[in-house]
Amino acid sequence: MPTPLFEGCATALITPFKMGEVDYPALEKLIDFQLENGIDALVACGTTGEPSTMTAAEWESVLSFIVQKVKGRIPVIAGTGGNHTADVIQKARRAKALGADAQLCVTPYYNKTTQRGLCAHYTAIARDGALPVIVYNVPSRTGLNVTPATLSQLAGEENIIAVKEASGNMIQIMEMKRQCGDSIAFYSGTDELTAPLRAIGGQGTVSVLSNIAPALMRDMTHLPLQQAVELNLKALPLMTALFSEVNPIPIKAAAAMLGLCENEVRLPLVPMAKENEEKLKTEMQKAGLIC
């Protein structure tokens, strides 16, 4: 198997906002928090980073800020996905110029395409060669599922290096792994399945929870498997609370409770409902993250 871009936990970093603007002091605090706790990689402007409501200039500025702050200590993966292949390619080229190490490329949404279209989409991005490609499968958000046969075909492309699998369908993930073998790296895109994916030979996770608990998620991807399972089971109620509303609404609320950033999202997202926020607070207290 080719050497994975990273092994362990990559944080799908939130983009902090304050009064409608990107909050760069808070972003710096978030990055320092991740690095101090030994995280293995960072995803900039992925779904959790709210790129769909950011301008192109904001996307560039945030990615550039993260790359410059990290200074090559860990990989920085740029979220480039979209529903227009040519635009994704241009975004990937810009991400490379800004210093990103790879791209996380979600499947097209709304116009969606067929499985043949998915193969053509990812193949075109990979063969352009700007950055290594991590295929991102999250059908609950995009309405489009990458099938095991499609992923197996894409795994033959030299520049397609990994999949972030967030279907939540462990049987499908196992079939993907069976068909792809060790030709690409497998990362869980669902915090709850971090340890199960390790058990079938996965290389780690791209995590939302690690925004507020990077050491926990790093341990879950580096400690012996049985310990990882125990941590995963213990953290399950907190993971569930963090997805009680649309991501990144709950993780922004949780980060604000820790004083890492403001509890601010952009419309059409709205702050977490109070009753759900109280449940999240309770689970954070049980996990020892807050008093």
103 contacts: CB under 8 Å, gap ≥ 6: 77, 78, 79, 80, 91, 92, 95, 125, 130, 131, 132, 133, 134
Amino acid at residue number 130: A
Chain center to CA of 140: 15
The two structure tokens encoding residue 263:
């509890």
Which one is catalytic: 91, 96, 122, 136?
A: 136
Catalytic annotation, pick one of 91, 164, 177, 252 = 164
CA 230, 235, 240 angle in degrees (round to 5)?
A: 135
Angle, alpha carbons 196-199-202 (nearest 5°): 90
Q: Evaluate whether 132 touches 5 at the Cβ level (below 8 Å).
A: yes
Q: Length of the chain, please? A: 291
187 is catalytic: no
User: What is the sign of the dihedral through the CA atoms of 2, 159, 44 and 254?
Assistant: negative
- Residue 233 contacts residue 216 (beta carbons within 8 Å): no
C-alpha closest to that of 1 among 195, 181, 188: 181
Positions annotated as catalytic residues are: 136, 164
